[in-house]
Amino acid sequence: MNDELGYIVLDDESYIKAVGQFRLAVGAVLSVFNMYGMGEFIPQAQNEIVRLAEDFGQRVRGDLDKPISLEYIRRKWRICHEQRF
Q: pLDDT tens-digit profile of 4-63?
A: 666 777 889 999 999 999 999 999 999 999 999 999 989 988 998 998 999 888 888 887
40 found inside a domain: yes
5 found inside a domain: no
DSSP state of 37: T
Q: Concatenated DSSP letters for 4-40?
A: TTS-B---HHHHHHHHHHHHHHHHHHHGGGGGGT-GG
pLDDT score recorded for residue 27? 93
Domain of 78, in residue numbers:
12-84
pTM of the model: 0.68
Domain tally for the chain?
Answer: 1
pLDDT score recorded for residue 84? 61
pLDDT score recorded for residue 74? 67
What totals of helices (H) and strands (E) does the chain contain, helices first? 3, 0
